[in-house]
Chains A and B, each alone.
Chain A
């Protein structure tokens, strides 16, 4: 944790309220996100118990599995979920704009521009916490290899028609969420703790209720008090007043409320099956409906507070922080590309995502994510003085005032401008010999080279990383501007800082270079196991009589 972040947390402890960790909003928020609050059954791998889902905060869809061990009931739940999620996705898939993309021409091998469709907007899924993101991934994995009766008439326990498709989409969202800076699938706790520092640990910040309590404590209460209540307060029956954000439920809820309700449901079902005539069946159907209603009420009671909390979080993010502008928009455009790409793969009839990435795909993903991580770090710093302050403290950037500009030129046949700019700064950048530094000039990075410290230059030749070590008076450092000054002999107007200007240079690059070109999967080299061979469609998960999911 950087010292600036630590200070913010300590101030939060001191003031009893969360403190800003950002001055702008670094994540895109859709005007119409789909909020998803799932619950799962303890001990089972991905056996959902229920969920609230939807785009209307006042009218969520309540989906419930009254007996999570019953395959048909789980399929019914997943089919209902597909009926809510897929239409939401479809509305975004249909509205497109024209865009250009670089592709390799298969004939010539050259890079050419191709006109393609880009979805004008992308769907956005919001879950309460990081565990919710994992659950989206798990649900996706559990569904995408299912077979429907249409796909395979022979399949035992066929899945409802749109369930495998939902699995593919949830898998895509889950995978995209691993890309730094992406906003296709967000965990509310992550977004909130990116923007606020609370007076508790990052571990405790995973509790959505406690996190919100610090950010917006109720009148007359400190964040600490409110967070403690959110975490631990129980009613007389021993139930948490603020149920966990899921998908895991509180054991006390399972044991005292849910288990008896499921028992009643099971008994009512058995009784109904044993009914001997219509009249008796009607009667017992009433019992079953009542038992099911009870479970629905229980599930709603445990998800509704979290549902409201997620929307509360959205309100806070929207009302307190302006979106960071161009860079957030740019990253969202990447999310739109990602969404469009998956839409096209689905339309083209490609098989579902494999269980494991092959060597080339894994390497490509890793390098793309590292690039996105570097991009995100740079962009957040450029967008937000508070983030930049952290980089300045770490010696990775410096801000100061220009005290002198001396015109100079490069050697060679056509001398180009290489002005020397002296900057006074209180910061202590870790500048090595001839280190490159960058500043943002009209949204583009302008490079300069560190020449030395003015006060020590020539004294002992010390232009190393330590600098002159001036305590509080600041240092004067000399930079040679290298580019973005136009083609002429004289720099273009405004392209060179002037005396008195406030400037901020970073030691990190603002834009990321492309990584190494990896081979196609079918050309995987011997060091990595050779080509994976003919692509065979992934088999469905084996089904057994008492299969879960």
Chain B
């Protein structure tokens, strides 16, 4: 019997894994919020001045009196039919996320391109400098210190400082908020630049360190020595032998980071710059103990992470024949 196509097996395995992860995450999220004693959603839905009878009515109307697993199934059904309503603001969560997505997409796409370029440039320069003379090594150290500061930077501190000095003091950029691209392209750009810079600083340092280490590792590989011994020019060895292989970890890292930021992972940056994106919605919903939006957003993030990691695995396999799809 002929074995199934490896690509097909890979795709099916990933699909099954994704469903399991989404299921587990949704159960975990539901349970975390189920254990709050003071978190009875009926109390919040009924409002501050509700009578016990009104609270009871709300409890029955929303099904909070039913067993946990029934409530869980009901919520999952509502999520997948797009009818899920948040407890505190009582708006359609899926529609709300749809409204928040443009800001988050703007943040993710712009910032991910910037941090990739900056990270790769810093990493390559650092690796090249590290193998030269004294002065060059000192410059590499300096780049390393810059990268380390970026890695260690708390997102909200950086955002606050950018807003204060470039917004309040110099009036170069607006003080946070989001303007849709379709309404006002220039306003969109000026509102996005600071958040982009902020996220880029946070990520580029880490990328440059990973890439620098990866390049230096690859330079020690025997196939690089072989290529050099064959008389291939150092520049070509660097580009088509060293860099091509060193970029592999960066590719998968980038895919995952992209997915996480797109899924609302930049809670702090979005909150500081008041972008009103998915991440800020997630942060606000957790503070309100509002389960439905958190369920949807965590599942969205997990979904994106699994999809993007599958894509990066495929890219890796295409770039490096040693990588086999499992």
The yes or no verdict on A and B being binding partners is no
Where the two chains meet, the residues of B that have a C-beta atom closer than 8 Å to any C-beta of A are none
A-side interface residues toward B, CB under 8 Å?
A: none
